[in-house]
Structure 1
Amino acid sequence: MTIIIFRRWVSVLYPILLASILVHYCRGNSDERKVHIVYMGERPHSPSGNMSSLLAVRHISLLERVLGSASLAKESLVYSYARSFNAFAAKLSPQEVEKFSKMKRVISVIPNHKLHLHTTRSWEFMNFSPGQISAQKEGNVIIGFLDSGIWPESESFNDEGMTPPPAKWKGECHNITCNNKIIGARYYNTGGMYDPTEFKSPRDAMGHGTHTSSTAAGREVAGASFLGLAEGTATGGVPNARIAVYKVCWQNRGCSNADILAAFDDAIADGVDILSMSLGSSVPPPFFEDAMAIGAFHAMKRGVLTSASSGNSGPTPATASNLAPWMLTVAASTIDRQFVSKVVLGNGETFPGIAVNSFKLNGTTFPLVWAGDVANYSGGSGVINAKNCLPGSLNSYKTAGKIVLCHSIVGDVTGVAMANGLGAIMFNPIPSVNDFAFSYPLPATQVRSGDGDAILDYIRTTENPIATILVSETWKDVMAPYVASFSSRGPNRLSPEILKPDITVPGVDILAAWSPVASPSGSPFDTRKVKYNVISGTSMSCPHASAVAAYVKALHPDWSPAAIKSAIMTTANVMDPRKNEDHEFAYGSGHINPVAAADPGLVYDASEDDYIYFLCKQGYDNTTMELIAGRSNASCNGVALGRAWDLNYPTFGLVVEDGESISTSFTRTVTNVGPPNSTYHVSVQMPSLVNVEVHPTVLPFSAVGQSMTFTVKVSGPKIVDQPIRSGAILWGDGVHVVRSPLVVYTITPNSMAALPFKPAEKIRFGDQPGRLEHEIVETN
């Protein structure tokens, strides 16, 4: 009877069921769980300091409440954002999305759209469309790159439709063929020593210089990708600007001071307008013991702005390099996407990892081992070295053809490659930020510490553990921008009152042109050849800023380096301090806004004399200043030693020794570069602890180029142990907003004294943190 009734119901319902299935199919299986980001705003504070772990537990609890199952909640969770904000990513059905959307503490539930990464993603993220101005204006600007050279045959450097170089150009082209795009190329090697893989020419054997040059000024190239990942149109910020190459960095030898100064000397004389330098020292020497500061000072005197990376030593405080106030110092921040390469275990558990992984295992699983279990004892290695997958520490008989789980802080899989491992899963046993992606010479990904522990537990409790690593996907990061964990922080070790870095710019997972002879992962085991590569670092953010400086220069060719720098800083977008606990020490004036920088309204201009006055107050004597300036009237007579409060800088920094009262006055002068008749009114943003008075409160301008002076008096009670209190001085005319950060922080006596520094040095450029970081290498 039951069978008969069932058949009758099927006969009646069959057409309805068929229609329902067809509708469901046509809608793309709308009930399927898809990744969404549940955003809940500010990260709570925890007295115990373990809020990241607590939030991860809360995220699971919320998922369990909505999904109705603890196991399903764990399976659904793909990422827990818990260090700087409160959010998580999970696989949710439409009904579950609706439930989360109705929760009181949930701000938004955002679909995790897949993005196609390309260089213009960073420009689009900044709401900037390259090529906004005429090719003629852009073509009058020449950017000089002090770097590892260039690959001139790259499509990014074609000169189709470009006119001959501007008449001001006096440069030369050595040992490569230049064109109307690459108009000059020189190389410098004081020691005369060359790595066997190097070229005795400006040709790039490392990829770094090609990447930075194309990021700033590469032409539009359709269909660019990294081995099929991130396919799209690649372009620099100023695709019609000219490129001049000065190769000062060499494979395995770094970048010497002598070569850098020689390149500065040539570049200034050649007629460059902007200098871009993605290199620096790990311990900043005094200004005039620093080749970059010296070269940049002389460039400034001749109207050339130097844009330089702040370094890859973050998030440790006081690690920023390139601190001279006449340089634009650039930090690195994220854009709204991440590369995610998932690990799938034999039991079906899936863990998201961060990596640029193009290797296709097609879902095939392979034996999975923990590195600590496969130590190369016969080679003298024990568990400690093996679990970190150090070179030579693994037994190749036990790792060949297998995926190896490594404890890894810097994301190095060299040891696995040496031991013929098939792939690697890395995790830092100490919870840390995982906000940028490496590429590797084999299938690999970096998972969170807790996920690494779960994978290790799976290995230890399973007789034959297996796993696979999936090709990278691109996920949307709705929390961007925030300063990358590797980006070097302030305060300024040399002049604490001058806030450094100056600006933050995209520098995470940037796709740009590459040298086909260079390893895309930086590993000697990587034999892949690519025309475009994805890498991260302040080396990648610097050329973005250089491009914006060139854009402003093209529109305002008569502006001084200080005016261009001021325009970039005072128009920056305000960063969310909740995502950046180091505040201005991480991001300076804020996140770069190219369009606004072209029309800042007012600028804080500065001349050579202003910097000389600054240096006199820093302790440089008459003889030194006269030699630097090349004139006898550049003296320090009558200038007392003191703080740098009166340098006409676009930011205000007040350093107070612990236990002292807040009390000082700043003097600043602004120049009108907007409409002739403009009236600006001041507004102040500052925490209640600090009192700020500005006089006058109104600046009425009647002409372009007119300058007016104001003072800022800052006062407050005695303070102790104040890392940073942030505010801002804003001038507005109803159209423009000229914003200057004002920060107050305390130091202990002598805490900012410079560390001992050896004058015999080289400066090594840095790209990806943990690979080629900024570091000092002594000469022989």
Structure 2
Amino acid sequence: MLSLESLTVESGRNLRAFTTKVLVHLHRDGKVLVKVAETSLATTRDDDGHGTHTASTAAGNPVQGASFYGLAQGTARGGAPSARVAAYKVCLKDVGCKDVDILAAYDDAIADGVDVISISISREAPNILSNSFAIGSFHAMTRGVVTVGSAGNYGPDQGTVANVFPWMITVAASATDRRFVDRVVLGNGKALTGLSVNPVNFNGTKFPIVYGQNVSRTCPALQASFCAKDCVDRDLVKGKIVLCDEFLANKEAYKAGAVGSIVLDTFTRDVSFVFPFPVSSLSLEDYNSVKSYVKSDENPQAEILRSEEIIDKEAPYVPSFSSRGPSFIIKNLLKPDVSAPGLEILAAYSPEASPSDNPGDKRSVKFSVMSGTSMACPHVAGVAAYVKSFHPDWSPSAIKSAIMTTATPMMNVMKNPDQEFAYGSGHINPTNATDPGLVYELELQDYLKMLCAEGFGPGLLTKISGRNITCSERTEVKDLNYPTMTTFTTALKPFNVTFTRTVTNVRSPNSTFKASVVPLRPEIQISVEPEVLSFGLLKEKKTFVVTVSGKGLKDGSVVSSSLVWSDGGHSVRSPVVAYSINPFG
């Protein structure tokens, strides 16, 4: 049985479906502990839904016939179904997540013997050691615990990625091949496709449409058109569908007692939300078509249909809300690390919580649909637990490497113009991650040498690590033994950068891997020395050097390729990225 809890934290773009946060701690084979930040209740019981959703994604048991009122029906299960979950409060609804409570939760989780910590909380930080997430996950790493964190929901702007600590797996959100759409049928017979997760069916009944400007007796025309707060008159919308020029105005239409709402998608433009009543969020072109119809017809009417599931042939791709790199605080490290399903995900939900996050919505459900990097994060936590079940002696860096080097890149540049800064190494492949062939490993002293090079003093590092640190040795970020290779270069200036890496053979004795660079890019030249790695022993290590050079990138450019080590059965892929985007001023 699962004890699943949640928390509420408002931040960022006021996007509650995305910015509610959860801290989850996993352990496998019957001992899993999940730490979940909670609401203002005096217990860890979930009255918010978000914690139930994320925890069940990471470790939920298989449940047949799961659905949201018949939508997305099927068998639902978490990434590590055999895991058990325990919940601990670290956040309060009106207070937020205090650093002291988060650090205490980390300490408890580590002491409880967890294997994986999945933290769907993101917070801006001026440096990589400035918040409780950084310190807590660092301590977890020193104890052999994998930490998985959400990249944040501040996209599509560049430089917005959070949780950029190199000892954490940072997860972006990606789409699956199932999407939810709903359709609006106007009285003139025209049908338009919008976005929402709407289980309600009008059964062929059309209702009058009224425009926001015409249902307000107190507000100026502009505010009324947006259906702004307290502008929608209850007496004027009863039994009608309200047309509003602002996405969030659906709440005001619902509060006033309308039967539905058609809104302009001014929000994310690629996400379907659960609403408390029938809503269709339309593109600008389709929304203007409805407005024209309402203005030209003496008796405008419409029907909002029940949502449909469609196949998204372009998936996987990174939706607009998922935070993008490059990192503001650590230039030569690719973040996010990987992407995982985070768009319109069906998972367990607290029956005490409103599925639409609206106090007036009294529906009680066992499953609901949510979107965000919060949803992507526990997918990777489940994969990490899955990999650890095959390799219980692997370090956190080995597990991270296995997940990253077996991920699948998203080759559709039109859908993913930010490329690796959107999806990292690519979309997770859980099966391949259990048998990566080679892994890039890092130990505590490697991170400490990097932190010394980043300017952190021996006193602070001694205090954080519990070791006597002198900073006599330093390692540049680019030479951290990371599964990716990234360099920031000044626009239009020639560059020549070397990366030193060491891989460990986890395939079998007497293995030989050959290097290739794909695809070849005219803007950069990449060479590898040596080009062949021959191993005679299991867990044997080999070092190689990658040189990346170019005559100069255009301002704002991102040029990427991949180094692939192959033995004929395994493809160990590491993105190589050179960029001239400068969010640092």
TM-score normalised to structure 1 length: 0.70
Cα distance in 1 between the residues matched to 2:575 and 2:299: 58
Distance 1:628 1:256 in 2: 19
Displacement of 1:383 after TM fit?
2.3
- Which secondary structure state, in structure 1, belongs to the residue aligned with residue 299 of structure 2? coil
Distance 1:275 1:471 in 2: 38
Give deviations 1:177-201, integer Å, cap 9, x for gaps: xxx9686577878xxxx74xx3x11
1:446 aligns with 2:275: no
Report how far residue 243 of structure 1 moved: 1.9
Match of 2:257 in 1: 420
- Which residue is 1:326 aligned to? 167
2:71 maps to 229
Q: Could you list the per-position Cα deviations for residues 207-265 of structure 1 after superposition, in whole angstroms to 9, with x for gaps in the alignment?
A: 11111111111111111111222222111121112223233233344322221111001
Match of 2:154 among 301, 310, 313: 313
- Is the CA contact 1:146–1:275 (under 8 Å) kept in the aligned structure 2? no
Q: What amino acid sits opposite 1:468 in the alignment? A: E
Letter in 2 for 1:606: L
Query: Shift of residue 390 of structure 1?
Result: 2.5
Distance 1:587 1:600, change over 3 A: same
2:115 to 254, 262, 273: 273
**Does 2:198 correspond to 1:357?**
yes
Tell me, in whole angstroms, the C-alpha distance in 2 between the residues paired with 1:483 and 1:747: 19
Q: Give the Cα separation in 2 of the matches to 1:390 and 1:224.
A: 37
* 3-state DSSP of counterpart to 2:332: coil
Give, as a single letter, the amino acid of the residue that structure 2 aligns with 1:356.
V
- For the aligned residue pairs, the C-alpha RMSD in angstroms reads 2.3
User: 2 CA distance for matches of 1:605 and 1:144?
Assistant: 34
CA–CA separation in structure 2 for the residues paired with 1:262 and 1:426: 44
1:701 aligns with 2:535: yes
- Choose which of 460, 466, 469 in structure 2 pairs with 1:624: 460
Query: How big is the shift at 1:412?
Result: 4.9
Alignment partner of 1:537 is 2:379: no
Equivalence for 2:297: 462
Partner SS, residue 385 of structure 2:
helix
Q: For 1:173-572, list aligned pairs within 5 A.
A: 195=40, 198=41, 200-281=42-123, 283-377=124-218, 381-409=219-247, 411-428=248-265, 434-572=269-407
Change (3 A) 1:367 1:223: same
Output one character per residue of 1:360-380: Cα deviation in whole Å (capped at 9) or x when no partner: 211211110111222341xxx
- Which amino acid in the other structure matches residue 92 of structure 2? W
Distance change >3 Å, CA 339–CA 187, structure 1 → 2: closer
Cα separation, partners in 2 of 1:278 and 1:680, compared to 1, 3 Å: same
**Amino acid of the structure 2 residue aligned with 1:718:** G
1:128-160, Cα deviation, whole Å (9 max, x unpaired): xxxxxxxxxxx9xxx9999539xxxxxxxxxxx
The structure-2 alpha-carbon separation of the partners of 1:605 and 1:599, relative to structure 1 and needing over 3 Å to count, comes to same
Distance 1:205-1:145 versus aligned 2 partners, 3 A rule: closer
Whole-Å separation in 2 of the counterparts to 1:272 and 1:301: 13
SS, match of residue 692 in structure 1: strand
- Which residue number corresponds to residue 7 of structure 2? 148
Is 2:491 aligned against 1:658? Answer: yes
Identity %: 46
User: Residues 671-703 of structure 1, C-alpha deviation per residue, up to 9 Å, x if partnerless?
Assistant: 000011100110012311211111111100011
Q: Structure 1 residue 584 and structure 2 residue 420: aligned?
A: yes
Shift of 1:716: 1.4
The answer (yes or no) to whether the contact 1:376–1:392 under 8 Å persists in 2 is: no
| CA distance, structure 1, for counterparts of residue 434 and residue 473 of structure 2 | 38
1:507 is aligned with what amino acid? G
Report deviation, 1:433. Answer: 6.1
Q: In the alignment, what sits opposite 1:743?
A: 577
Which TM-score applies when normalising by structure 2? 0.93
How many angstroms does 1:544 deviate by? 0.4
| Shift in Å, 1:638 | 4.7
Counterpart of 2:506?
A: 673
The corresponding residue for 1:81 is none
Match in the other structure for 2:557: 723
Separation (CA, whole Å) in 1 of partners of 2:30 and 2:516:
45
Taking the aligned partners of 2:499 and 2:535, their CA distance within structure 1 comes to: 21
Q: Amino acid of the residue matched to residue 201 of structure 2? A: K
Please state how far the C-alpha of 1:723 moved relative to its aligned partner: 2.3
Task: Select the structure of larger CA radius of gyration.
Answer: 1
Contact 1:206 1:518 in 2 (8 A): yes
Q: Per the alignment, in what secondary structure is the counterpart of residue 657 of structure 1? A: coil
- Residues in 1 aligned to 2:122 and 2:249: alpha-carbon distance in whole angstroms: 23
Distance apart, 1:384 and its partner CA: 2.2
Distance 1:464 1:182, change over 3 A: farther
Judge conservation of contact 1:146–1:248 (CA < 8 Å) in 2. no
Kept after mapping to 2: 8 A contact 1:147/1:249: no
User: Is the CA contact 2:33–2:109 (under 8 Å) kept in the aligned structure 1?
Assistant: no
Query: More deviation in 180-189 or 315-324?
Result: 180-189
2:4 and 2:45 in contact (8 A); partners too? no
**Partner residue, 2:584:** 752
CA–CA distance in 2 between the matches of 1:674 and 1:184? 31
Per the alignment, do residues 599 and 580 of structure 1 end up closer, same or farther by CA in structure 2, a change over 3 Å counting? same
Cα distance between partner residues in 2 of 1:249 and 1:338: 32
